[in-house]
Amino acid sequence: GAVVSQHPSWVICKSGTSVKIECRSLDFQATTMFWYRQFPKQSLMLMATSNEGSKATYEQGVEKDKFLINHASLTLSTLTVTSAHPEDSSFYICSARGGGGITEAFFGQGTRLTVV
Amino acid sequence: EDKVVQSPLSLVVHEGDTVTLNCSYEVTNFRSLLWYKQEKKAPTFLFMLTSSGIEKKSGRLSSILDKKELFSILNITATQTGDSAVYLCAVPTGTASKLTFGTGTRLQVTL
């Protein structure tokens, strides 16, 4: 299957600082990338959908000013958690999908964010 | 509202047992259903099903879709401790084909 690389794998940051997470599709062009959040023992919750070159579409209840998503190229999307607080601590996962037809989405390795 | 429901929520079996995991869905414009296995990190892809009645198989894992009754099952035969994981079912929904996930089934295989 296709490879999606997410960086960093884990990060600890101080409350009030911002954290950027990168998601790269290594061997295909990802027209659409998805950002998920997962709390312990819960399923993945979609935060936003981003298409290359356009603004991200956020799910209801997700603050777009807090979770900034940029999808500047067909192989890179970034999620920036601004002014992070302890309640933002979670596992963030990106997935990427190529264009056209019915295709599965491939996941990055995930980023465990801990805000102290 | 699109919905994906998995059952059971959690399951403990002995090594060598066969398990069946269930996923039912209610979505508009159904296109496909996907199964993923999640261990400690991000989900890994198992199967994508688009047609009713055609079994997909990979080693001891197999899956089938019933588009009339709106469900899919994932079978694991001769389970091993390495099969212990959360198994997620997902259906692409909406114009962007974002994945709507079920709650997952947590499988634990004991010796």
**Percent of chain A beyond pLDDT 90?**
61
- For residue A42, give both structure tokens: 């819960």
* Cβ-count burial B54-85 (b if 16+ within 10 Å, e if not): eebeeeebebbbeeeeebbbbebeebeeebbb
Q: What is the length of chain A?
A: 116
Q: Quick one: pLDDT at residue A99? A: 63
Q: Quick one: pLDDT at residue A78? A: 94
For B26-30, what is the mean pLDDT?
Answer: 89
Residue indicated by tokens 């403990």: B12
First to last CA, chain B: 41
Contact present, A98 and A2 (Cβ < 8 Å): yes
A58 touches chain B (CB under 8 A): no
Angle at B104 between CA B101 and CA B106, to 5 degrees: 165
What is the tens place of the pLDDT at every residue in A61-86? 999 999 999 988 889 999 999 999 99
pLDDT category at A30 given cuts 50, 70, 90 is: confident
| Alpha helix segments (H runs only) across chain A | none
Angle at A27 between CA A25 and CA A30, to 5 degrees: 45
d(Cα A93, Cα B96) in Å, to the nearest integer? 18
**Contact yes or no for A43 and B104 at CB 8 A:** yes
d(Cα A103, Cα A105) in Å, to the nearest integer? 7
What is the tens place of the pLDDT at every residue in A3-27? 899 999 999 999 999 999 999 998 8
Q: Which of B10, B36, B99, B106 to probe by mutation at the A interface, max A CB count within 10 Å?
A: B99
What is the tens place of the pLDDT at every residue in B44-81? 989 999 989 999 999 999 999 999 999 999 999 999 99
Q: Quick one: pLDDT at residue A101? A: 53
| Interface contacts (A, B; CB < 8 Å) | 50
CB atoms near residue A26 (< 10 Å): 12
Cα–Cα nearest to A79, from A89, A93, A100: A93
Q: Quick one: pLDDT at residue A54? A: 82
A42 touches chain B (CB under 8 A): yes
Residue A100 zone, left/alpha/beta (φ > 0; ψ -120 to 50; rest): left
Q: Quick one: pLDDT at residue A82? A: 96
**Percent of chain B beyond pLDDT 90?**
76
B18: which DSSP letter? -
